Amino acid sequence: MKKLLLLAIPAMLLASCGPKEYTIKGKTTGEYEGKQVLLQDTEGTVIDSCLVQDSTFAFAGKVDDQSIYTMILERTRIPVFLQNGVNISADLTEGPVKVSDNGGLNDVFSTITEKVNESSQALNEKAQKLINEGMTYTEVHDSVKSDIEALYDIYRTGMTENKDNIVGAYILGMLANEMYSSLEKLDSVMTEVKYADKIKAVADLRAFLEKAETTKEGKMFVDFSGLDIEGNESKLSDYVGKGKYVLADFWASWCGPCKMEIPNLIELHKQFAGENFMVLGVNVWDQEDKFKAALEEEGIEYPQIYVPRDGKDNATELYGIKGIPQIMLFAPDGTIIKRNLRGQEMKDFVADQLK
């Protein structure tokens, strides 16, 4: 019997040494009584929920490692940094929402956010003053460039100082789309910032830039499908790689800058269309009826591929396109010669290639 008891003691000790739960205790105003509070992971999956009772709510659970969840109460969305054994308080009784964990990751992020808010307020006040003095928006933007950069510096410093915890990764996710336009630059910072691959915004941007890398200048075209004007299936490969230069314009009927380029494209179509050259419209992010109406309104006669939003291919994603118009020239063999063509530069470039 003594031997069995001695064997049981280490097992009990081991059982008591597992990771403790994290806890979140929150308080709200009475208007949220009976409302549901959600905890959502970075993929958008709800992993826990509770109801507000007596203006309070509570969560408890375990995570495998440092994690970032979003706490949602109606329209309020709050990032919460989780670790096992950490006790978090959330005060939703007034804005801004205060999330604290006795000097932990949530307090670190709150300090950064407070600095950003102070800087943003000063920046907005300065910009408004300049507008009131009669400056144009362009002049105001030029005047506050250094202030904007100082604002980004707060984030960058916060990311660097927290590169070994998930706060740094979360800040990287906030900055990623603005700061990193190449796969090489993003990969470089991701190697420095731990947990970067756990942040959806970072992973999504990397996937986007990876596709952009495969369709940069000098690469062979990537095929996609859509519909022609009659509603029949049409592919990019029906036009590109067939022995002629193809100037492809990714556009939409609601896009002002797209419409500004249409006269230039019509001019090139009328001047050069033939055995060696053609203009091709690729309509994206649009509604079919508005797309067809725009063809008549703008006097567009060159071929079109309409790519439905719910189609099997996402043309803009395949080509790493964030904004339109995106006009690119394909060589007769299908190689991408030039992207981001616009205006007179586009007309001169096409004319030079066709010489």
State the catalytic residues.
255, 258
If you search the block for the tokens 């006009």, which residue do you land on? 327
Cα 67 to Cα 22, 52, 196: the distances in Å are 11, 24, 11
CA–CA separation, 340 and 328 (whole Å): 6
Q: How far apart, in whole angstroms, are the C-alpha atoms of residue 58 and residue 24?
A: 5
From residue 340, give the alpha-carbon distance in Å to each of 29, 269, 327: 51, 18, 5
In what order do the strands lie in the sheet containing 67-73?
A: 46-51, 36-40, 67-73, 76-82
- Total count of residues recorded for the chain: 355
CA pseudo-torsion sign 298, 302, 307, 308: positive
- Which residue has 């307090």 as its token pair? 107
**Are 269 and 298 within 8 A, CB to CB?**
no
* HEC per residue, 197-249: HHCHHHHHHHHHHHHHHHCCCCCECCCCEEECCCCCEEEHHHCCCCCCEEEEE
**Euclidean distance between CA atoms 264 and 343, whole angstroms:** 7
How would you classify the pairing of strands 87-91 and 98-100? antiparallel
